[in-house]
Amino acid sequence: MEKDYFKDRSKESIKYNEINIGDTVYICEKQMQPYAMELKDLTKGIVVRKLTRHDHPRGIKAQVQNKYGIFTGRIVYLLKDGKIIYGDK
């Protein structure tokens, strides 16, 4: 099981119905799961496809696209109005 250093993720990142195609998010790619501890370790992109079909405690898996290509990973943070949405903690 991967380590989850992002305990401050918002409830929206784990709820299937809160994620929409076109949302800007930060994801943790599979190969980075054991190592990702900071925001710079995550990949920022726009959601092009949701892969998880239900709520998931470590984030919805999605494909995102940015200027470097298409990447797959679990959503850690959502961006609303250019600001990261953090959890209550």
Residue 46 in domain: yes
The whole domain housing 69 covers 11-83
Please state, in angstroms and rounded to a whole number, the distance separating the CA atoms of residues 68 and 10. 26
Total structural domains in the chain?
1
In a domain, 6, yes or no: no
Query: Does residue 27 lie within any of the structural domains?
Result: yes
- Give pLDDT, residue 86: 83
Give residue 70's pLDDT.
Answer: 96
pLDDT averaged per 10 residues in sequence order, the chain, 89 residues: 70 91 94 88 96 90 96 93 79
Alpha-helical (H) ranges within 1-89 are none
In a domain, 52, yes or no: yes
